[in-house]
C-alpha cells in the first residue's frame, strides 16, 4: 500500500493518521487521530466544534463517511483535560482544592450524546479536495474547480514532471502530487536494515534516482517560512517523495534544481501562480532567450515589484544556460492571474518567447441545486387543497381566507350569544324558544360558500396526493447557489513545441526516403 493517505486512504480511519471531520459542506476540520496509547487521555484527544465535542477514540477505525455523534464531555472530569489542569488536580496548582476528594481526578468520562445541543459530523478521508477546504491558509489558494480544469487542460498525467511556483499554502501541490503519482513502488515504506540498506538490496540513493524518473512535482516558493511549512506538511502527509520544495525567487534564479537527476526538473507541465509570471518566462525556454527580448519584458515600468522576500538567494555570477523543460515533450503552461493587465503582459511575453496556442479562460463555477418543489395551486387547479402555499399570491389568498373565516366565526359567535339571550327572555316572558336544530341549520347556511378551513385543505390534499403522484413529488426545479468558494482568476494556457533542429529535419528526411 502507498504510504500517503492522499494517494490511498484505505477504507477506514486509523490511529495516528489524518482524518477530516466534516461539519458542513464547506466546514471541515483536519485532525491527526490519537488514541489512548499515544495521549494521556482515556479517549484520546477531543475535537471541540460548535456541533459538539468528538473524542478521537470515537473517530478511529471507522469506515470513511461514517456519521459520528458528538460526545458530551463530563466537564467535572473531562477526558480532554489539559496538562495544566492535571498538574493542578494533583495538588500542584490552584485547582487542587476542586479536585480534592476525587480518587481519579483526571481520567474523564465521556458519554454518548443525548442532549439537544450535541450534533453530528461525518468522518471523511484526506484528499486534495477535502484538504483544500480545510488547510491552514498562508496565502490565497487555488480551489478545486480551478485546479481540476488546469490539470485537464494541461493534460497532466501520471508519470509527468510539473513545475509549480509559488507554492503558497500547497493546495495546488497536493492536487498535482496525486495526479503525477504513477503507482511507483518506491513510495512504499522501505524496509531498511541497520546499515540503511533496503531489504531488496537497493540503497536509498538508488531509490531516489528511480523516483526522479517517475511522476514528480518541483515546487518553488520564495517565502522561507511558507516553503518550510509546506515541506513539513508534505512529510506528515507522506507526499514528500513526490514533491521537491525549493525556497527560491524564481524571477531571478529560474527553475533548475541540483539533484542526482542532472536534467531535473525535466518538466512537461508548468503552473505559475505568481504576481508577475512574465518575469519567470525567460527561464522557461529551450534555448537561451535573446537578451534584448528579456530586457524589454523586464523593463516595463508598470511591472509590480516583488513582495518583501526572505529568500536565501544571493547574487551570483550568471550560470551557463540550462533548460528546465523536458526536451522530448511539448511543454504545457498555465498561468493564474487575478487582473487582466497581468494577463496582457503574460501573453505578450509568451508570444516573445515562442509559446503557441495561447488561450485564456475564467472559471465561472456555480453549483446547481436541483430539487422538487411544490406545484402551484392555481396551475394545478387544487385551490384550497394544498396544505402550504407555493406562491406569494397563494399565501396572500390564504391570509384573506383566514380573515374571512374569522369574521364569519365571530359573527356566528355573536349571533349565538344573542340567540341565547333571546331564548332566555322568551322563557322569562313564557314564550316558546326557537328550536336548537333550526339554529344549527342557520349556522350551516352561513358557512356555506366560505373558504375551506385548514382541516378541509389537509383532508383534500391527502386525497389528492393519493390519487396524483405529481402532487406528491412536486415539480423538478433548479436553483443556482448564491455564493461559492472559488478564487476567480484568469487562466492563460499555452504550449511550447519540442525544438526542431536541422539535424531532426535531416533524420526525418532520411526516414522518408
Cβ proximity to ligand SAM, 146 vs 160, nearer residue? 146
- For the bound state, the minimum distance from the C-beta of residue 243 to ligand SAM, rounded and expressed in Å, comes to 13
- For the bound state, the minimum distance from the C-beta of residue 77 to ligand SAM, rounded and expressed in Å, comes to 42
Cα 392 from chain centre: 36
Residues 6+ apart with CB under 8 A from 333: 154, 269, 270, 271, 272, 284, 350, 355, 493, 494, 495, 496
- For the bound state, the minimum distance from the C-beta of residue 307 to ligand SAM, rounded and expressed in Å, comes to 6
Strand partners, 409: none
- For the bound state, the minimum distance from the C-beta of residue 208 to ligand SAM, rounded and expressed in Å, comes to 24
- For the bound state, the minimum distance from the C-beta of residue 188 to ligand SAM, rounded and expressed in Å, comes to 28
Cβ proximity to ligand SAM, 275 vs 376, nearer residue? 275
Q: Are 180 and 219 in contact (CB under 8 A)?
A: no
Cis ω before 7 (30° cut-off from 0):
no
- For the bound state, the minimum distance from the C-beta of residue 26 to ligand SAM, rounded and expressed in Å, comes to 17
Cβ proximity to ligand SAM, 125 vs 166, nearer residue? 166
Q: Give the residues lining the site for ligand SAM (CB under 6 A).
A: 139-142, 165-166, 168-172, 220-223, 226, 249-251, 273-275, 306-307
Cβ proximity to ligand SAM, 52 vs 168, nearer residue? 168
Residues 6+ apart with CB under 8 A from 175: 128, 129, 132, 142, 144, 147, 148, 151
Dihedral over alpha carbons 57, 61, 65, 70 (to 10 degrees):
-10
The three cell numbers locating residue 255: 527553475
Q: How far is the CA of 314 from the CAs of 88, 101, 255, 311, in angstroms?
A: 52, 65, 15, 8
Closest CA to 109 of 73, 57, 56: 73
Q: Are 241 and 269 in contact (CB under 8 A)?
A: no
Cβ proximity to ligand SAM, 35 vs 164, nearer residue? 164
Cβ proximity to ligand SAM, 251 vs 490, nearer residue? 251
Cβ proximity to ligand SAM, 34 vs 313, nearer residue? 313
Cβ proximity to ligand SAM, 223 vs 457, nearer residue? 223
- For the bound state, the minimum distance from the C-beta of residue 278 to ligand SAM, rounded and expressed in Å, comes to 12
Burial of 12-36, coded b for 16+ CB within 10 Å and e otherwise, reads: ebebebbbbbbbeeeebebbebbbb
* Strand pairing category for 18-24 and 120-124: antiparallel
- For the bound state, the minimum distance from the C-beta of residue 336 to ligand SAM, rounded and expressed in Å, comes to 7
DSSP for 425-483, written as a single string: HHHHTTPPPPPHHHHHHHHHHHHTTPPPPHHHHHHHHHHHHHH-HHHHH-EEEEEE-S-
- For the bound state, the minimum distance from the C-beta of residue 156 to ligand SAM, rounded and expressed in Å, comes to 15
Cβ proximity to ligand SAM, 55 vs 171, nearer residue? 171
Cβ proximity to ligand SAM, 160 vs 253, nearer residue? 253
Q: Are 335 and 277 in contact (CB under 8 A)?
A: yes
Q: Where are the beta strands (DSSP E) in 34-105?
A: 46-49, 52-55, 67-69, 71-73
Question: Could you give the CA distance from residue 29 to residue 24 in angstroms, rounded to a whole number?
Answer: 10
Residues 6+ apart with CB under 8 A from 79: 41, 42, 43, 46, 55, 73, 107, 108, 109, 110
- For the bound state, the minimum distance from the C-beta of residue 249 to ligand SAM, rounded and expressed in Å, comes to 4
Question: Taking CB positions, which residue lies at the least distance from ligand SAM?
Answer: 166
Amino acid at each position: 500500500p502507498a504510504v500517503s493517505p492522499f494517494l490511498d486512504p484505505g477504507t477506514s480511519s486509523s490511529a495516528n493518521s489524518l482524518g477530516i471531520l466534516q461539519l458542513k459542506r464547506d466546514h471541515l476540520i483536519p485532525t491527526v487521530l490519537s488514541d489512548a496509547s499515544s495521549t494521556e487521555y482515556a479517549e484520546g484527544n477531543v475535537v471541540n466544534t460548535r456541533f459538539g465535542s468528538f473524542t478521537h477514540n470515537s473517530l478511529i477505525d471507522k469506515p470513511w463517511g461514517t456519521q459520528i455523534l458528538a460526545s458530551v464531555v463530563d466537564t467535572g472530569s473531562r477526558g480532554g483535560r489539559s496538562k495544566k489542569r492535571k498538574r493542578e488536580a494533583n495538588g500542584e496548582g490552584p485547582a487542587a482544592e476542586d479536585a480534592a476528594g476525587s480518587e481519579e481526578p483526571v481520567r474523564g468520562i465521556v458519554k454518548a450524546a443525548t442532549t439537544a445541543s450535541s450534533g453530528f459530523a461525518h468522518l471523511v478521508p484526506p484528499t486534495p479536495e477535502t484538504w483544500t477546504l480545510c488547510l491552514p491558509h498562508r496565502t490565497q489558494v487555488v480551489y478545486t474547480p480551478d485546479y481540476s480544469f488546469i490539470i485537464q487542460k494541461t493534460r497532466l498525467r501520471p508519470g509527468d514532471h510539473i513545475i509549480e511556483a509559488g507554492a503558497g499554502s500547497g493546495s495546488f501541490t497536493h492536487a498535482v502530487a496525486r495526479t503525477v503519482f504513477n503507482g511507483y513502488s518506491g513510495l512504499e515504506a522501505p524496509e531498511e536494515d541497520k546499515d540503511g540498506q533496503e531489504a531488496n538490496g537497493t540503497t536509498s540513493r538508488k531509490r531516489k534516482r528511480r523516483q526522479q524518473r517517475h511522476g514528480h512535482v518541483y515546487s518553488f516558493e520564495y517565502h522561507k517560512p511558507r516553503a518550510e511549512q509546506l515541506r513539513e506538511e508534505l512529510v506528515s502527509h507522506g507526499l514528500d517523495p513526490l514533491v521537491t520544495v525549493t525556497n527560491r525567487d524564481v524571477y531571478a534564479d529560474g527553475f533548475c534544481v541540483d539533484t542526482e537527476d542532472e536534467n531535473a526538473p525535466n518538466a512537461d507541465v508548468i503552473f505559475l501562480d505568481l504576481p508577475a509570471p512574465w518575469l519567470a518566462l525567460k527561464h522557461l525556454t529551450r534555448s537561451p532567450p535573446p537578451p534584448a527580448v528579456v530586457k524589454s519584458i523586464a523593463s516595463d515600468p508598470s511591472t509590480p515589484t516583488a513582495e518583501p522576500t526572505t529568500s536565501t538567494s544571493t547574487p551570483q555570477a550568471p550560470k551557463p544556460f540550462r533548460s528546465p523543460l523536458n526536451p522530448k515533450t511539448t511543454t504545457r503552461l498555465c498561468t493564474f492571474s487575478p487582473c487582466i493587465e497581468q494577463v496582457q503582459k503574460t501573453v505578450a511575453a509568451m508570444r516573445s518567447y515562442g509559446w503557441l496556442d495561447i488561450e485564456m479562460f475564467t472559471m465561472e463555477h456555480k453549483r446547481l441545486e436541483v430539487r422538487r418543489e411544490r406545484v402551484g395551486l392555481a396551475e394545478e387547479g387544487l385551490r384550497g387543497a394544498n396544505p402550504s402555499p407555493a406562491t406569494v399570491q397563494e399565501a396572500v389568498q390564504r391570509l384573506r381566507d383566514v380573515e374571512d373565516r374569522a369574521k364569519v366565526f365571530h359573527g356566528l359567535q355573536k349571533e349565538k350569544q344573542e340567540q341565547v339571550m333571546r331564548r332566555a327572555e322568551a322563557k322569562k316572558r313564557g314564550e316558546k324558544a326557537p328550536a336548537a336544530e333550526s339554529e344549527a341549520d342557520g349556522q350551516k347556511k352561513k358557512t356555506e360558500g366560505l373558504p375551506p378551513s385548514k382541516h378541509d385543505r389537509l383532508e383534500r390534499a391527502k386525497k389528492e396526493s393519493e390519487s396524483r403522484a405529481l402532487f406528491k413529488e412536486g415539480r423538478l426545479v433548479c436553483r443556482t447557489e448564491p455564493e461559492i468558494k472559488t478564487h476567480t482568476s484568469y487562466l492563460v494556457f499555452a504550449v511550447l513545441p519540442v525544438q526542431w533542429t536541422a539535424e531532426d529535419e535531416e533524420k526525418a528526411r532520411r526516414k522518408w526516403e
